[in-house]
Amino acid sequence: MINYLGGMWLAAKNWSPAIFTALALILIWEFVVWILDIQRWLLPPPTIIFQELIDSIGLLTRHAGITLLEIIMGFSVSLMIGVALASGIVWSRTMERSIYPIIIASQTIPIFTLAPLLIIWVGTDIFSKVIVVVLFTFFPLVVSLVTGLRSVDSEAVDMFRTLGATNAQIFRKLMIPTALPNFFAGMKVAAVVSVIGAVIGEWVGASAGLGWLMKLSGPQFQTARVFAAILVLSVVAITLFSAVVAIEKWFLRKYPSILSQAKNLGE
């Protein structure tokens, strides 16, 4: 219990500058809106937004669940595609020369322009939003994993080969542990941009979700509800990012060092 309280206190201490800065910005926002007498439909103060959040909590939660489902499905598919592509690019020179340039070139295409085409091809159901999330997230996963797998020390590879390791053992016991920090860095980026992908997919064509709710509320001058939806999306993004950080810490604790892997292999 003491360790838990100590960890909570340390976390609060580390995040206190960000918390105080956010509170200061909220107070300034509230003060400016009331002093300048800005209309609520144009820019509502934070108190009105929080009130809207409380009043519409059921509506926001229902649509947030749909958006979260799209994000989880798209992120899961993106993980499988990213791991498969990165592994193939590292192991196959032919795949690297044929696929990797196309993956890089694909990022020059504005994904927002593809969303309407996906609605035509796939429809307005959840799969079109999942595809948009995949298009947003697979690139940082592929690039980070390729970078991590290629960052293996050649001397460590030679040591493993001297101890009789096969290519599969080198990949599993050396390359994967070495690539984990880079891979999780890409996962953190992908976790955040997955929220953007889901919202864009819903904005273009959907009948539910926070993006659709924002699109519907804007023309009706329900600006406070738009800001409340943005706040919920921020919470979703922060939660996903924190989940990836927690998984990263767990994985990095589970994997022993490269040196101990080599000693175990030699035994």
- Which CATH number do you get for residue 80? 1.10.3720.10
Measured distance CA(95)–CA(77) in Å, rounded: 20
User: Is 10 part of any domain?
Assistant: no
Residues 215 and 227: their CA atoms lie apart, in Å, by: 12
DSSP H helices, 151-175, are 154-162, 167-170
Residue 184 lies in a domain: yes
Amino acid 121: pLDDT = 81
Number of independent structural domains in the chain: 1
Model confidence at 260: pLDDT above 70: no
Read off the pLDDT of residues 167-189 as tens digits, 9 standing for 90 and up. 777 777 788 888 888 899 999 99
What pLDDT is stored for residue 232 in this prediction?
94
Place of tokens 């956010």: 22
Q: Which domain holds residue 103?
A: 47-266
- 203 band by pLDDT with thresholds 50, 70 and 90: confident
Confirm whether 125 is domain-assigned. yes
CB 149 within 8 A of CB 179: yes
Q: Is residue 5 part of a domain?
A: no
Per mean pLDDT, which of 10-14, 191-195, 246-250 is the most reliable? 191-195
- pLDDT at residue number 87: 87
Predicted confidence at residue 259, as pLDDT, reads: 44
Closest CA relative to residue 204, chosen from 114, 137, 133? 114
* Amino acid 265: pLDDT: 46
Q: Rounded to two decimals, what is the model's pTM? A: 0.82
Digit-coded pLDDT (tens) for 49-82: 999 999 889 999 999 999 999 999 999 999 999 8
Q: Which residue has the higher pLDDT, 255 or 27?
A: 27
In a domain, 103, yes or no: yes
Residue-level pLDDT at 262: 46
Asked, for residue 182, whether it belongs to a domain, the answer is yes
Question: Pick the residue with more confidence: 110 or 148?
Answer: 148
Task: Examine the pLDDT at 126 and tell me if it is beyond 80.
Answer: yes
Query: 213 lies in a domain?
Result: yes
Q: Say if 166 falls within a structural domain.
A: yes
